[in-house]
């Protein structure tokens, strides 16, 4: 039996075997990481994904490529990741929409709880109650008064299930009833509010700001626990006596079965990235704040959010379609 490398043929054979065994790992390290975005190019989610790819790729020593796979409320992109190789080469830019899809859609092509594993939280942003500039209420209390006195004048434009659930929360907190006008997307909803055709909406801060800056709308309240640094003059609903919060969030998830070591490695670099002033400053530009959660922490956060969305939907009488 050969116990030391004293024969050239044996040494050469051993070296070749080691080199061949290392090839798959080396190839994997050279393979770009696909960061799948379940929305179309443009908008806050896409902008955040490109920020992450630019900052995180070099930290991991690999190219990170953003792949937009929009459609079906984000389920097309999520389904692609759920079926992707669980080797760290495909990641999902996850959004709070994944907490809502189970209460909005029947026969999802994946299980939101079982088919993904959390890598890291990234950011969060509150929804905002906005009125057309032609609507006379200046805050939530004035809205409650208007809805109580003249309910026929109060209606909300709703662009998706998230804003529908948030709108139901606002109406419940204020103790009012109002017409809900459903639109196929946030864009058309905001257009009609800006034009004064529908007086109110609940939407993301990023979606509302162009209308507000143009003078076609006004912010009545944030659905948050505290004011946004970027909007110091906009009070929260809680400050006005209606303690209701609704936060959109963004995170990185991976296919279930991805090696824990790979998840921990990516998570560690995400946390370092988020600790840099440059990254947090760019988050502020998107009206977001950091959501610094590790893998286990995010999984617990996501599980709680799933339960919360299910409870909101049940209270509003909403069933999957």
Q: Name the residue ranges covered by the structural domains of the chain.
A: 30-125+248-315, 126-240
128-169: pLDDT as tens digits: 999 999 999 999 999 999 999 999 999 999 988 999 999 999
- The CATH topology of domain 126-240 is D-Maltodextrin-Binding Protein; domain 2 (3.40.190)
Q: How far apart are CA 217 and CA 199, in angstroms?
A: 9
Please indicate, yes or no, whether the overall pTM of this predicted structure exceeds 0.95.
Answer: no
Q: Which two tokens stand for residue 321?
A: 């379609």
For 38-59, what is the mean pLDDT?
Answer: 94
Reply yes or no on whether the pLDDT at 22 is more than 60: no
76-101: pLDDT as tens digits: 999 999 999 999 999 999 999 999 99
Q: Which DSSP category does 288 fall into?
A: -
- Looking at residue 184, its pLDDT comes to 85
State the pairing for strand pair 200-204/116-132.
antiparallel
Residues in the chain: 321
Maximal CA-CA distance, the chain:
97
Contacts of 187 (CB under 8 A, 6+ apart): 159
For residues 179-196, one letter each, b for 16 or more C-beta atoms within 10 angstroms of the residue's C-beta and e for the rest, the string is ebbebeebeebbbbbbee
For 113-129, what is the mean pLDDT?
Answer: 97
CB 321, CB 104: distance < 8 Å: yes
Cβ count near 174 (within 10 Å): 23
Looking at the chain, the whole-number percentage of residues with pLDDT higher than 90 is: 84
- Whose CA is closest to 186, among 207, 212, 165? 207
Q: Which two tokens stand for residue 104?
A: 């909005």
Q: How far apart are CA 270 and CA 292, in angstroms?
A: 9
Q: In the chain, what are the helix, strand and coil shares in percent, each to the nearest 5?
A: 50, 20, 30
Instruction: Decide: helix, strand or coil at residue 9.
Output: helix
- Looking at residue 114, its pLDDT comes to 95
- The CATH topology of domain 30-125+248-315 is D-Maltodextrin-Binding Protein; domain 2 (3.40.190)
State the average pLDDT for the chain: 90
Reply yes or no on whether the pLDDT at 187 is more than 50: yes
Tell me if domain 30-125+248-315 and domain 126-240 are identical in fold. Answer: yes
214-265: pLDDT as tens digits: 999 999 999 999 999 999 999 999 999 999 999 999 999 999 999 999 999 9
Which carries the bigger pLDDT value, residue 30 or residue 114?
A: 114
Q: Which two tokens stand for residue 150?
A: 């003249």
Within 13 Å of residue 289, how many CA atoms lie on the same side as its CB?
Answer: 12
Confidence class of residue 41 from pLDDT cuts 50, 70 and 90?
A: very high
Reply yes or no on whether the pLDDT at 14 is more than 60: no
Packed helices 161-174 and 140-149: angle between N→C axes, nearest 10 degrees: 80
Instruction: List C-alpha distances in Å: 158 to 106, 115, 202, 207.
Output: 20, 30, 7, 13
Packed helices 43-60 and 277-285: angle between N→C axes, nearest 10 degrees: 170
Reply yes or no on whether the pLDDT at 2 is more than 50: no
State the pairing for strand pair 33-37/90-95.
parallel
Instruction: Decide: helix, strand or coil at residue 32.
Output: coil
């Amino acid at each position: 039996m050969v116990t030391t490398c004293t024969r050239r043929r044996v040494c050469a054979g051993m070296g070749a075997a080691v080199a061949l065994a290392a090839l798959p790992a080396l190839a994997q390290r050279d393979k770009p990481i696909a960061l799948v975005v379940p929305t179309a190019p443009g908008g806050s989610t896409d902008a955040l994904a490109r920020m992450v790819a630019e900052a995180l790729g070099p930290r991991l020593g690999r190219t990170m490529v953003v792949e937009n796979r929009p459609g079906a409320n984000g389920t097309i992109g999520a389904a692609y990741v759920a079926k992707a190789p669980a080797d760290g080469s495909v990641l999902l830019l996850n959004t709070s929409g994944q907490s809502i899809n189970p209460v909005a859609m029947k026969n999802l092509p994946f299980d939101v709880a079982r088919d993904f594993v959390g890598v890291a939280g990234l950011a969060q942003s509150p929804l905002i109650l906005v009125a057309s500039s032609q609507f006379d209420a200046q805050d939530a209390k004035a809205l409650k008064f208007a809805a109580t006195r003249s309910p026929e004048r109060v209606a909300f434009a709703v662009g998706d299930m998230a804003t529908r659930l948030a709108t139901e929360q606002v109406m419940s907190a204020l103790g009012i009833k109002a017409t809900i006008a459903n639109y196929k997307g946030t864009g058309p909803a905001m257009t009609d509010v800006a034009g004064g055709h529908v007086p109110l909406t609940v939407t993301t801060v990023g979606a509302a700001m162009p209308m507000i800056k143009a003078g076609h709308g006004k912010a009545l309240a944030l659905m948050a626990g505290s004011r946004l640094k970027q909007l110091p003059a906009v009070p929260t609903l809680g400050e006005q006596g209606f303690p209701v919060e609704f936060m959109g969030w963004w995170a990185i998830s991976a296919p279930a079965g991805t090696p824990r070591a790979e998840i921990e490695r990516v998570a560690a670099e995400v946390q370092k990235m988020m600790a840099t002033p440059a990254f947090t400053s760019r988050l502020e530009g998107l009206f977001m704040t950091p959501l610094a959660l590790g893998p286990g922490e995010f999984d617990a956060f996501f599980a709680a959010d799933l339960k919360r969305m299910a409870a909101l939907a049940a209270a509003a009488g909403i069933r999957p379609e």
